[in-house]
Structure 1
Amino acid sequence: MQAYFNKPHIKFYGIFLWVIFSGFGTNYSAFAQEEIKKRLQEKIKKHKENNNFQRDTTYINLLYALGMQYAQYNLDSLLIISNESIKLSKAMYYPKGEAQGYLIEGLYYSNTGKQDLAISYFQKSVSIASASSEINLLLESKIKLAAEYKYKEDYANALKYYLEAIEIAKAYDSDKYLSKCYLNISSIYRVQKEYEQTILFLSKSLKINQSNNDDVQFAKNLNNLTACYIEMGNLDKATVAVDNAISIFEKVKLDSWLSYAYELKGSIHTNKGQFYQALEWLNKSEKIHDKIDKGRYKIPLALNLSKTYFGLKDYDKAEAYALKALEISEKLNVLEERDVTLELLYKIEKINGTPEKALAYLEDLKAISDTINKNNNIKELRILKSNLEFEQKKEQYISESQQKHVLQRSYIYFSILIILAFAIIIFILKKNNKTQNALNQKLLENTEALKKNEIHLNEANNTKSRLFSIIAHDLKGPIDSFKSLLDLFNKSELSKTEFMHFMPQIGENIDSIAFTLNNLLTWGQSQMDGLSTKPDVIPLKTLVDESLRLLSKQAEVKSISTINNIDKNVIAWSDRDQIDVVIRNLISNALKFTREHGIITISAVEKALFWEVQIQDNGVGMSEDALSKIFTENETASSYGTRNEKGTGLGLRVCKEMVENNGGTIWVESNLNYGSSFYFTVSKSKTL
């Protein structure tokens, strides 16, 4: 393994885990921090004096604010606050408070190294904040969730949630969260060593900070820009950036980020071999770190101090800090930089003349190297996977990079000619494509019109075939019979007495023909030209009475009782002629399938917006198979009635079209041998 000092660099874990620190920090010193916590605690205490404080949303919001203050200085308190927030919020159904509680608990598990648990709680917070449209809380939760995936080196998922947060931040003009997203996405590119993209996203964030005069966030971005320049080996630019950041952080006394800036400053000196200067800055960082309860961030600082003391040949202190880094990494189960720590301890023990300890560290280094190599392989695969996703998204979030090709003068004219040639070719191709697209569009329009005409012609042919079939079978027969009787009578082959004997049958045939013609005309018009519906105020009782009077002869022949239970106050808003056709067909249908001495009842039930009309008989009923086909569009066959009455098979289809044309529905309930009940709905009169 190559030693740390062979080339200037700082590993990803040791620096860029600080990227999300902004979500946990505040803009005040430790003293100011205590003042804020004290004020919040006083407010909470005051609220708790109210007997109803457990149902007070202000109390829950104060708990959240206090939890965010504890996020880096007192992790144990986070769990207590989150549990109370979640419990009280659930009891009073306060989704925002519940989401805040899950967010605080996620921070606790994140800072204690339990990443899977942190992810599960951040996901809960995202889900509830999204459902309750709490935009700021949703953005905060998504960014925390993305950061946790980044800690796990699951960069594809990290990018997914950052991009989702960007879309939301843009939609709601939230520059604060947009800047955070750009800052964090830059770290994903950085781990893949795509430094141009890293700097591009940092620049986007810096631009937002400048336009909003947000000096603190500007300085945070400078810290991360410094870390990028250190990895690139550009220590001069790194120095300029970190010096600007330090001046801002010292002014606002933002301890967490100031500590990081001091560590970066020390790293620059370490990479330059200026160990005394490095130690000065690292000690400043350590002093602040003692007040911060964040173990994972103490690992790179301790390792930096160990390397600095190693450079100063103070091997006792170098060993002490290396052991401290090793202890924390083992406690939090962090593998990053453990190999560097073990290698450094091996070198120290070797210099100290303790070969047994040196050998032990070397064996530990060998044992862990396989694990780290395996993890690195997995990381590389994840990086490759996320690279594919990045390429698909780049055009949405970054502008096209400026071309940096420097051409020699001898190629300039040649290049211009090539460009002109391509321009001409592209112009011709575009012109041809435009013409081709216009022709294709015209062809598509013509094809669509032909398809519509074909459908219309097929429907017209089908309608014509049905009409001819019905006319041939249901009208031609009765008319031919009637004509034959007249011919016999005219030829004196049939006496007047005999002719009069056939008159009742002739009357029934004529009624059947008239009824069939009426249905045919109504249905044919609806199929070919469409119906013109003219709704009006209609009394349903009057329509039913008229139909019963017209069909009274059919009822008398079979001694069927007809009962109209519809009240005169039942007023509908529909087309009178169309609903009249429906009522007459349904009553005629009931008469047809009701045995002698049967009963037909017509009634209406009032609903909120419509009348539900029922025509019930105690006739022969229908089987399940017949019920499934009764309103089928392609079925035109009819059944014979109890006295062999024959219909067209169109009556119920006409009813269905008329009812639906008036905005209603029609259905039937029937039991074989027990009768049928037809229902349809009509709108209530608007004048009532």
Structure 2
Amino acid sequence: MQHVTLLPTTFLLLFCCLLPIADAAGAEENPRKELRSEISAMERSAGFTAKDTAYISKILTLAGEMRFYDADSLLKLSERSLTLSEAAGFLKGKAKSYLRLADYHSDKGDSEKAIELYEKGLALSEAGNFGDLRLSALNGLSGEYVYKGDIAGALTKYLEALELAEQTGELEMQSILNENIANLYAEQKDYDHCLEYFQRVKRINDKLGNDIIKAETMSNLASVYADMGNLEYAMFNINQSIDIFEENRIFDWLAYAYETKGKVYLKKFNYKWALYWYSQAEMLHMNLEDDRSRIDLLNGMAEAHFGQGNDSLASDYATQAFRISEKIRFTEGKRDCAQTLYRIHRKQEDYATALVYHEVFQKLSDSISKRENQQGLSLLKTRNEFEKQKEELIEENEKALAEQKRFVWIGWVALFIALIIIYLVYRSKRLQKQLAEELTTKKDILEVRKAELQANNQTKTKLFSIIGHDLRGPIGALQSLLTMYSEGDMKKEEFLSFIPKLKSDVDHIFFTLNNLLSWGYTQMEGAKTKPSNTILENIVQENINLLAEIADQKSIRVVSELQGNTEVWSDPNQIDIVIRNLISNALKFTPENGIVSIRAEDKDTHWVIAVRDTGVGIDRVTMSRLFQDSSNTSTYGTNNEKGTGLGLSLCKEMVEKNNGKIWVDSTLRIGSTFYFTLPKAAQKYSEAV
């Protein structure tokens, strides 16, 4: 569990003797009741004005207390404090109001809006030099980047916040930020670095001497140990944290601790006790309003019921968790719930539903950019190594300076010794300069290597992304069907009913592989453009014949309007790829009984080729990024045909290699026309050969 912005992800039960739910709610309500009373007293006092900064601050404090108990109150109080702060010119109140509003949208799963508000709060905090709010804003931003799967972005903000916390001596925020970085390593299964950061957190917590903060760390550490399979250490840490939370009646963290204890029992396959702790957590959670936290709790209960053979209850809990994940757009939760539902429906021999959830799981697993996360952590390791080298060089410099001072002091004793010291000082300065130059050189080398690594990995990242996203899914579905059929889980008739889908997936894989190999070949600088006099209408007709079956399936008429004199100077293999992808795209986005036509317009020095369809059209936003280098836009066709988003990038690259240009004109619900130019075949080109 991450601090401050990432609240407990499941909730707990009470140890041995249960605390009554009403009692718990009452204890939690007291701070909020006291704040309401104080606000009411201020409003009734003589000379009261709503522009009083103390009054606005009190409203903001109440808003923070309401976060996981009444989201509507959090929103209304935050909006009210923002209005009052603007009227009073209270910059700090305005900054804090944006952070509270960001918390609300974060809990609702609207990360884009939350990031926008956190950034507004951060900008005001920096303008007003409010160090505490700046740390909170950076930590909140980092949490949203984690929810979005942008680990590199989260690390950047965490490190920026950590550096600020170290400069200002904010030990509590240092503890929180180091623990959040440890959790990032845990999510990547890099437990060595994770535990290294937890050791740092423990040292900071010892300086703080706060038992509640120590208990929070032990709860997170227990969850990590449970994921590692070190269940004894997990149980030791969680029991200690439970004692502290119960004594201090910290119910949100106590809930998380008990849920973690349920997870430990689940990993021990002790489903009875796992359900015991999960159920108590569910009871406490009734007094909280935190959808994101409920997902792991409900999915954990689903797994425990499934382990006991209660398939119906397991399905109910997992489905509920899946729906909450969809509601707040929580990708990781949706993925985990899909996996649980796949196991449940497969056991119930509901193979069609099982396959649906299996495909959802595969798709979401691929969409969570683990490769980018690992690269982000690698950058952090590189930074740590650089910082370590810098500290070693600084330490050497400090030793050299200390030696210099000692010789200067001795120099007062005798002129001869002074002369020697002068020489040593000169040598020491030269050594210091040399060390500084070496430090700069090493830094430059690290930056160059970092840039080279990013450049070299860009192509591989894109290749693996497409392979994982567009090939792994269909192949995984095919593998699942074959496995169920070979193991006797599926009858022959059921298997044969999936044949049309399998054929569509295989066709998609073949077309994707063809594009992928062509693009990869060009990216690895293995493809050289070899232009020659090329008859364009022959290439067009061959591709019309090749794609005839797809066109027939949708009753689409494909017409070539090219005349017999369309001769261009280009590489025929590359232009073949361009024609095939554009016709394939036109078929994909044209509904049944449509028309796709190919024509060429004669210009002075070149041909303008147009592939027109009567399809669904493209909106302006999508059109603006179709041919961008960083774009990998992919959508489903009118019959849910799949695509990689690679085809248009490949077309652009191939056309430009042949000294041409490519663009698109489209109108929604009327159709699209893709244009590209190619040089005319001329005598001078023949001589160039």
TM-score (norm: length of structure 1): 0.53
Cross-structure match for 1:603: none
Q: CA deviation at 1:386?
A: 4.2
Q: Is the contact made by 1:306 and 1:322 (CA closer than 8 Å) also made in structure 2?
A: yes
Cross-structure match for 1:43: 38
Cross-structure match for 1:233: 229
Give per-residue Cα distances to partners, 1:356-381, cap 9 Å, x unaligned.
Answer: xx412422431x245324313x3312
The secondary structure found in structure 1 opposite 2:6 is: helix
Cross-structure match for 1:92: 88
Q: Comparing 33-42 with 57-66, which one deviates more in the overlay?
A: 33-42
Q: 1:313 to 1:399 in 2, by over 3 A?
A: farther
Give per-residue Cα distances to partners, 1:523-581, cap 9 Å, x unaligned.
Answer: xxxxxxxxxxxxxxxxxxxxxxxxxxxxxxxxxxxxxxxxxxxxxxxxxxxxxxxxxxx
Q: In structure 1, which of residues 34, 53, 66 is the aligned counterpart of residue 29 of structure 2? A: 34
Amino acid at match of 2:267: N
Q: Is the contact made by 2:115 and 2:141 (CA closer than 8 Å) also made in structure 1?
A: yes
Q: CA deviation at 1:343?
A: 3.7
Q: 1:112 to 1:439 in 2, by over 3 A?
A: closer
Q: CA deviation at 1:52?
A: 4.5
Q: CA deviation at 1:350?
A: 4.4
Q: Distance in 2 between matches of 1:161 and 1:397?
A: 20
The secondary structure found in structure 1 opposite 2:331 is: coil
Q: Distance in 1 between matches of 2:382 and 2:96?
A: 34
Q: Is the contact made by 1:20 and 1:184 (CA closer than 8 Å) also made in structure 2?
A: no
Q: CA deviation at 1:32?
A: 2.7
Cross-structure match for 1:120: 116
Cross-structure match for 1:157: 153
Q: In structure 2, which of residues 243, 249, 271 is the aligned counterpart of residue 247 of structure 1? A: 243
Q: In structure 2, which of residues 181, 188, 197 is the aligned counterpart of residue 185 of structure 1? A: 181
Q: Is the contact made by 2:78 and 2:101 (CA closer than 8 Å) also made in structure 1?
A: yes
Cross-structure match for 2:323: 327
Q: Is the contact made by 2:10 and 2:256 (CA closer than 8 Å) also made in structure 1?
A: no
Give per-residue Cα distances to partners, 1:455-514, cap 9 Å, x unaligned.
Answer: xxxxxxxxxxxxxxxxxxxxxxxxxxxxxxxxxxxxxxxxxxxxxxxxxxxxxxxxxxxx
Q: Is the contact made by 1:259 and 1:289 (CA closer than 8 Å) also made in structure 2?
A: yes
Cross-structure match for 1:359: 352
Cross-structure match for 2:7: 21
Q: Distance in 1 between matches of 2:164 and 2:119?
A: 17
Q: CA deviation at 1:347?
A: 3.6
Q: Distance in 2 between matches of 1:227 and 1:398?
A: 33
Q: 1:137 to 1:339 in 2, by over 3 A?
A: closer
Residue identity over aligned pairs, in percent, reads 28
Q: CA deviation at 1:51?
A: 5.8
Q: CA deviation at 1:182?
A: 1.0
Amino acid at match of 1:20: L
Cross-structure match for 1:489: none
Q: 1:328 to 1:257 in 2, by over 3 A?
A: same
Q: Distance in 1 between matches of 2:119 and 2:431?
A: 49
Residue pairs, 1:561-580, within 5 angstroms: none
Q: Distance in 2 between matches of 1:398 and 1:245?
A: 37
- 2:210 is the counterpart of 1:214: yes
TM-score (norm: length of structure 2): 0.53
Q: CA deviation at 1:437?
A: 4.5
- 2:301 is the counterpart of 1:310: no
Greater gyration radius: 1
Q: Distance in 2 between matches of 1:308 and 1:325?
A: 14
Amino acid at match of 1:297: S
The secondary structure found in structure 2 opposite 1:53 is: coil
Q: Is the contact made by 1:342 and 1:362 (CA closer than 8 Å) also made in structure 2?
A: no
Q: Is the contact made by 2:39 and 2:58 (CA closer than 8 Å) also made in structure 1?
A: yes
Cross-structure match for 2:364: 372
Cross-structure match for 1:223: 219
Aligned residues: 391
- 2:379 is the counterpart of 1:388: yes
Tell me how large the CA RMSD over aligned residues is: 3.2
Q: 1:84 to 1:24 in 2, by over 3 A?
A: farther
Cross-structure match for 1:72: 68
Q: Distance in 1 between matches of 2:275 and 2:71?
A: 29
Residue pairs, 1:234-633, within 5 angstroms: 234-352=230-348, 355=350, 358-366=351-359, 368-376=360-368, 378-393=369-384, 396=387, 437=430
Amino acid at match of 2:334: R
Question: Which 5+ residue runs of structure 2 have no aligned equivalent?
Answer: 12-22, 392-423, 438-689
Cross-structure match for 1:490: none
Q: CA deviation at 1:23?
A: 13
Cross-structure match for 1:62: 58
Give per-residue Cα distances to partners, 1:77-124, cap 9 Å, x unaligned.
Answer: 111111111111111211010011001000000100011111111111
Q: CA deviation at 1:34?
A: 1.1
Q: In structure 2, which of residues 146, 162, 165 is the aligned counterpart of residue 166 of structure 1? A: 162
Q: CA deviation at 1:440?
A: 9.3
Q: CA deviation at 1:326?
A: 1.3
Q: Distance in 1 between matches of 2:27 and 2:81?
A: 25
Q: Comparing 342-351 with 389-398, which one deviates more in the overlay?
A: 389-398
Q: Is the contact made by 2:246 and 2:254 (CA closer than 8 Å) also made in structure 1?
A: yes
Q: 1:81 to 1:436 in 2, by over 3 A?
A: closer
